[in-house]
Amino acid sequence: MSAAEDPPPDPRRRPRPRVAVSGQIVHGLHREVLDVVVRNLTGGGAKVRLLAPNRMQVTGPIVLRLPSGDHRGVVAWQSGHEVGVKFDPPQG
């Protein structure tokens, strides 16, 4: 395959800045609040670690509350205590 035919790089594979920021995830019908630590953060999403002692399943739309402000998104994946969040596009 020539360089002209190579697929574009996957933007999810770019290096992600590592951080350790405390925050909260608000989710579910009852707007349950879970404490988290953000492990990496980009404009498109975040990887967070749940601090809850049990392995709670987080699904659907969420709000990630950070000291810098709230970010709306959806759970893209979950593995144990780690959750990948895909942020909603900015509203214009």
Give pLDDT tens digits for 9-64: 555 555 666 678 999 999 988 889 999 999 999 989 999 999 977 777 888 899 99
Task: Provide the CA 36 distance to its chain's centre, in angstroms.
Answer: 11
Strand partners, 5: none
Q: Which candidate, 91, 89, 28, 22, places its Cα nearest to that of 62?
A: 28
pTM of the model: 0.77
Strand partners, 65: 24, 70
Can you tell me which residue has the tokens 């002692």?
A: 53
CATH number of 16-87: 2.40.10.220
Query: How many Cβ atoms are within 10 Å of 51's Cβ, its own excluded?
Result: 12
Do 84 and 74 contact (CB within 8 A), yes or no?
Answer: no
Residue 32 CB partners (closer than 8 Å, separation 6+): 26
Domain spans, the chain: 16-87
What's residue 30's pLDDT?
86
Output DSSP code: residue 44. Answer: S
